Chains A and B, each alone.
Chain A
Amino acid sequence: MASIAQPQSVVQPVTKPATGIWSWITTIDHKRIGMLYGFAAFFFLLFGGVEALIIRAQLAKPDNDLVSAQRYNELFTMHGTTMIFLALMPMTSALFNFVMPLQIGARDVAFPRLNAFSFWVFLAGAIIINMSWFFNEAPNSGWYGYSPLTGTAWNPGRNVDFWMIGIQVLGVASMAASFNFVVTVFNLRCPGMKLMRMPIFTWTTLIVSIMIIFAFPAITVALLLLSFDRYAGTGFYEAAAGGDPLLWQHLFWGFGHPEGYILVLPAVGIVSEILPVFSRKPLFGYSVMVYATIAIAFLGFGVWAHHMFTVGLGPTANAIFAGSTMLIAIPTGVKIFNWIGTMFKGSLRFTTAMLFAVGLVSQFVIGGLSGVMHAVVPVDTQQQDSYFIIAHFHYVLFGGTVFGLLAGIYFWAPKIFGRMFDERLGKIHFWLTFIGFNMTFFPMHFVGLAGMPRRYFTYAEDSGWGPWNAFISFGALVLASSFLVFIVNAFKSIRHGELAGDDPWDAPTLEWAISSPPPAYNFAVIPTVTHRDQLWWDKYGDEHGAHVSNDDLPTTAEVQQRANAQHPHVHMPNPSYFPFTAALGFFITGLGILFRDPAITLGLLHLPIFAVVGMALMIISIYAWAFEPAG
């Protein structure tokens, strides 16, 4: 279809959700769990943002002493850790949870209680890591935690312990959530929803979850070996004991590079939903988009050593990893052209969601190009550990992931809250973000090439980096102000925004066939899908605009409205508090391992009492959960 008509919205009253804190603790509704993820992630996004602002205040002028070098180490470590594990990943998880089951016509995820468990374990890990601030022992060896910085010789305090145990707990949460999402996408698709009819966002949910399943075990093992080094006195990463610090880097980046795509691909999925809606055209090259995403995910596991070009792996290894890294540019470039092809000759509407989506396409290209530069070993050798690297990964993780997530929030907020976000404030938000982002991160390319190293807490005046750093810090303030606009917009719109109606954007995917916010059971009757972009096909027929023989049949949305009008009795699983108590058991176990005292001694074993209590609570909860009637 060349282009399709402009949207018309049907406005219906917002249904009143159940309230009370107990209903949130025991909820196993994927939509409410998604909202819990979203609010927690946004809180940590602000927290990590404040850490970044302190970093920028420290670097605003040469020889500054706003924070000590040690505090600076803690700030950049916690900024990275917070943004990656506590803000961006859970924010993608929020959208996976809320949107994906709706897009495949399901009433919930495959394992609703496991889903609640994932959220509470995530929160436990987040609290464990951030508790470190109250003990003045915040993690201080970078989000990548290189050995031997993390060894007891250089880091005798509990700084690394908080990080190590917290990430381990977060890994459990991510894995449990990912198992659930993969099973859901494979098994709970409504009739007719073949794999190649799935919306691209559902595809990226599936692919990212598979990546998490394969990537996280590497960091789990890396952290276990580190735990043994720190707690039991082994020497896996200690050269003096016959160990090899590089083993950490291999295991870490074996996880860490896929992690980059785990963060970016959801944004790719979001943008692939938004561009067609606001270009009034189906996605250009749907199947190529799917294959490109799979190719990126696959290649992403074979490039980790490009993070280690300067450690001396030798020319053969470097050449192989340089080649595999360059290969990734191909499917990524394919995606960019797909997006441009989608917009080409489209009937473009620049809503806030669309602005952020187009913003992603432009900014992600910049980050992608500097990424390809790093594939070239000699270039990488010069740029290693400089601000150029900081510029690169902020263009992919902010210009990519954050822009995509903000686009997704503006796009799906009407579905989530039942009310439209204010477009005027939204556009102010977008332009402040866009300008502030580029002011902050573009000059980092220049200071990086001029030799400014990352992770240094200050620099000398005669380095000449002062003026650009002052400019960058000013840009960071602009960027921060954009988030204030967003918060005002969100507060205002969630309460008083215009009612959204079922389908305010005239979008093609199934979540827009039901009311906003959706009823607890999502679909009064499980829909049946006959085409990709089902709702558009219902309304506008095939790609030539011609209606086919079943013109008289009710549309997918009408089927839902009629079924809802009959007040359906849909049997949903019972709420459960066992996922929460199991997660609480995890939390207490983590604390027990961290603080180690009080403890009981059994022969060689030194068992912290809290760890024993936590494990007992966990095991009891899991058994109770297994034998609890699901309803």
Chain B
Amino acid sequence: MAQAVATLEQAHGAGEVGHEAEHADHPHSSTGLDSRKLLMWLFLASDCMFFGSLIAMYMIYRGDAERMYLAGQGSGPVPHEILDIPYTSISAFVLLMSSLTMVLALASIQRGNQRGLRVWLGATAALGLVFLGGQFYEFTSFYHEGLGLTTNIFGNAFFTLTGFHGAHVTIGVVWLISLIVVSLRGGVRQDQSLNVEIAGLYWHFVDIVWIVIFTLVYLIPYDKVETVGQQAEQGFRLIGLG
């Protein structure tokens, strides 16, 4: 919870406080890079570590639910029974396409095309909302099939990892809609395209994280996974340390 709050703050903090840098009577920037953009890059660096830690957690527990289920210990449902790869492929495709529309939004404002900016920002937000709707539907159908957050270690890890990604997308959608509102009030001029570019950096990052999550959670098969310990031993043997 607190991290959702933290992420929200940092995302907004990163993108929207920044214009004070322009006004703070510092005419120059030593690197030539805008301070707000640099702030966004730094935030994304820390967010890499945030998702890195969550993904590490998921990978540690990845095959555990299946193994416990096979050993008759845990309760189901387990990943291979419940994950729907075709369905999630479509929502992943939708999210990836939103990166394209985001680029088109930035290109529009850089050419001074206000209407294009709003259309493509709207399209990006809409695609993001479709993705979120897909996730909501996925979560509810899992819940009806008997998999809740606390059902088993798979439920713990799956809902936490994908849930935090969903929270990031939600913040992104709110940010995009805020930009559209500001733009309607004439607040995004051609020379302020950086406001859109920074939101775009965040949006693309969230997309890229989804590619990693989609691969690790959905695409790699679960039936043949070994324990983390066995994988590590195999790795050490390969480099001659076993």
Chains A and B bind each other: yes
Interface of A toward B, CB cutoff 8 Å? 106-108, 110-114, 117, 165, 168-169, 171-172, 175-176, 178-180, 182-183, 186-189, 191, 193, 213-218, 220-225, 227-228, 231-236, 241-244, 247, 251, 254, 316, 521, 570-573, 582, 586, 589-590, 593, 611, 615, 618-619, 622-623, 625-626, 629-631
Query: What are 24 A-B contacts with C-beta separation under 8 Å?
Result: A168-B6, A179-B14, A179-B43, A186-B31, A187-B21, A187-B29, A187-B38, A188-B30, A213-B45, A215-B49, A220-B6, A220-B50, A221-B53, A225-B57, A228-B156, A236-B156, A236-B160, A241-B152, A243-B61, A247-B57, A521-B25, A593-B2, A611-B1, A626-B17
A179 touching B2 by the CB < 8 A rule?
A: no
A257 to chain B, nearest CB (A): 14
- Could you tell me which residues of chain B, from 61 to 89, have a CB within 8 Å of some CB in chain A? 61, 64-65, 68, 73-74
A211 to chain B, nearest CB (A): 11
Evaluate whether A242 and B20 lie within 8 angstroms (CB atoms) in the complex, with A191-B28, A571-B25 already known. no
CA distance A220 to B50 in the complex (A): 8
A165 touching B2 by the CB < 8 A rule?
A: yes
CA distance A111 to B10 in the complex (A): 13
A111 touching B2 by the CB < 8 A rule?
A: no
CA distance A108 to B35 in the complex (A): 13
Known: A234-B156, A573-B20. 18 other contacts (CB 8 A): A172-B10, A175-B10, A186-B38, A187-B21, A213-B46, A218-B49, A220-B53, A224-B1, A236-B157, A242-B64, A242-B153, A244-B60, A247-B57, A251-B53, A316-B236, A570-B25, A573-B25, A630-B20
Residues of A near B5 (CB, < 8 A) are 172, 586, 589, 615, 618
* Nearest CB in chain A to that of B38: its residue: A183
Interface size class of B (residues with CB under 8 A): 35 or more
Evaluate whether A187 and B23 lie within 8 angstroms (CB atoms) in the complex, with A213-B45, A244-B60 already known. no
- Counting CB contacts under 8 A, is B16 at the interface? yes
A176 touching B10 by the CB < 8 A rule?
A: yes
A96 to chain B, nearest CB (A): 16
Evaluate whether A168 and B30 lie within 8 angstroms (CB atoms) in the complex, with A112-B20, A217-B47, A217-B50 already known. no
Residues of B near A111 (CB, < 8 A) are 17-18, 20-21, 35, 39
Among A189, A224, A225, max chain B CB count under 10 A is at A224
* Nearest CB in chain A to that of B24: its residue: A573
A114 touching B17 by the CB < 8 A rule?
A: yes
B241 touching A630 by the CB < 8 A rule?
A: no
B26 touching A214 by the CB < 8 A rule?
A: no
Evaluate whether A187 and B2 lie within 8 angstroms (CB atoms) in the complex, with A111-B20, A182-B42, A626-B17 already known. no
How many A-B residue contacts, CB cutoff 8 Å? 200
B183 to chain A, nearest CB (A): 14
Evaluate whether A242 and B152 lie within 8 angstroms (CB atoms) in the complex, with A228-B160, A630-B20 already known. yes
A167 to chain B, nearest CB (A): 9
| Chain A at the B interface: SS class | helix
B45 touching A214 by the CB < 8 A rule?
A: yes
B235 to chain A, nearest CB (A): 10
CA distance A227 to B156 in the complex (A): 12
Residues of B near A178 (CB, < 8 A) are 42
CA distance A572 to B20 in the complex (A): 11
Which residue of A117, A165, A189, A611 is within 8 Å of B13 (Cβ)? A117
CA distance A590 to B155 in the complex (A): 26
- Could you tell me which residues of chain B, from 214 to 242, have a CB within 8 Å of some CB in chain A? 236, 241-242
Residues of A near B42 (CB, < 8 A) are 178-179, 182-183, 213
B25 touching A572 by the CB < 8 A rule?
A: yes
CA distance A520 to B50 in the complex (A): 37
CA distance A244 to B8 in the complex (A): 29
CA distance A579 to B64 in the complex (A): 44
- Could you tell me which residues of chain B, from 33 to 56, have a CB within 8 Å of some CB in chain A? 33, 35, 38-39, 42-43, 45-47, 49-50, 52-54
Among B19, B30, B46, B54, max chain A CB count under 10 A is at B30
CA distance A112 to B17 in the complex (A): 10
Residues of A near B60 (CB, < 8 A) are 244, 247
B25 to chain A, nearest CB (A): 5
Which residue of A193, A235, A586, A590 is within 8 Å of B153 (Cβ)? A235
Evaluate whether A113 and B25 lie within 8 angstroms (CB atoms) in the complex, with A236-B57, A243-B153 already known. no
- Counting CB contacts under 8 A, is B9 at the interface? yes
A171 touching B1 by the CB < 8 A rule?
A: no
CA distance A75 to B202 in the complex (A): 43
Residues of A near B23 (CB, < 8 A) are 573, 629-631
Evaluate whether A107 and B25 lie within 8 angstroms (CB atoms) in the complex, with A217-B46, A625-B17 already known. yes
Residues of B near A172 (CB, < 8 A) are 2, 5-6, 9-10
B73 to chain A, nearest CB (A): 8
- Counting CB contacts under 8 A, is B12 at the interface? yes
CA distance A176 to B12 in the complex (A): 11
Evaluate whether A113 and B17 lie within 8 angstroms (CB atoms) in the complex, with A217-B46, A224-B2 already known. yes
Lowest 9 A-B CB distances belong to which pairs? A626-B16, A242-B153, A217-B49, A630-B20, A221-B53, A168-B2, A217-B50, A630-B23, A234-B156
CA distance A251 to B26 in the complex (A): 39
CA distance A236 to B156 in the complex (A): 7
Residues of A near B53 (CB, < 8 A) are 217-218, 220-222, 251, 254
Evaluate whether A188 and B26 lie within 8 angstroms (CB atoms) in the complex, with A175-B10, A176-B10 already known. yes
Residues of B near A117 (CB, < 8 A) are 13
* Nearest CB in chain A to that of B20: its residue: A630
Residues of B near A213 (CB, < 8 A) are 42, 45-46, 49
Residues of A near B35 (CB, < 8 A) are 110-111, 183, 187-188
Which residue of A106, A175, A582, A626 is within 8 Å of B26 (Cβ)? A106
CA distance A323 to B47 in the complex (A): 29
CA distance A386 to B19 in the complex (A): 52
Residues of B near A216 (CB, < 8 A) are 46
A243 touching B20 by the CB < 8 A rule?
A: no
Residues of A near B241 (CB, < 8 A) are 316
CA distance A484 to B190 in the complex (A): 60
CA distance A573 to B23 in the complex (A): 7
B47 touching A622 by the CB < 8 A rule?
A: no
Residues of A near B61 (CB, < 8 A) are 242-244
- Counting CB contacts under 8 A, is B129 at the interface? no
CA distance A112 to B178 in the complex (A): 23
CA distance A629 to B22 in the complex (A): 11
CA distance A191 to B10 in the complex (A): 30
Residues of A near B242 (CB, < 8 A) are 316
A314 to chain B, nearest CB (A): 9
CA distance A232 to B151 in the complex (A): 11
A187 touching B33 by the CB < 8 A rule?
A: yes
Residues of A near B97 (CB, < 8 A) are none
CA distance A243 to B24 in the complex (A): 50
Among A113, A186, A570, max chain B CB count under 10 A is at A186
B209 to chain A, nearest CB (A): 13
Residues of A near B39 (CB, < 8 A) are 110-111, 179-180, 183
CA distance A578 to B152 in the complex (A): 43
Residues of B near A235 (CB, < 8 A) are 150, 153, 156
B130 to chain A, nearest CB (A): 22
* Nearest CB in chain A to that of B12: its residue: A622
* Nearest CB in chain A to that of B68: its residue: A242
B45 touching A630 by the CB < 8 A rule?
A: no
Residues of A near B150 (CB, < 8 A) are 232-235
A618 touching B20 by the CB < 8 A rule?
A: no
CA distance A615 to B61 in the complex (A): 32
Evaluate whether A234 and B149 lie within 8 angstroms (CB atoms) in the complex, with A110-B24, A111-B21, A113-B17 already known. yes
B157 to chain A, nearest CB (A): 8
Residues of A near B43 (CB, < 8 A) are 179
CA distance A214 to B45 in the complex (A): 7
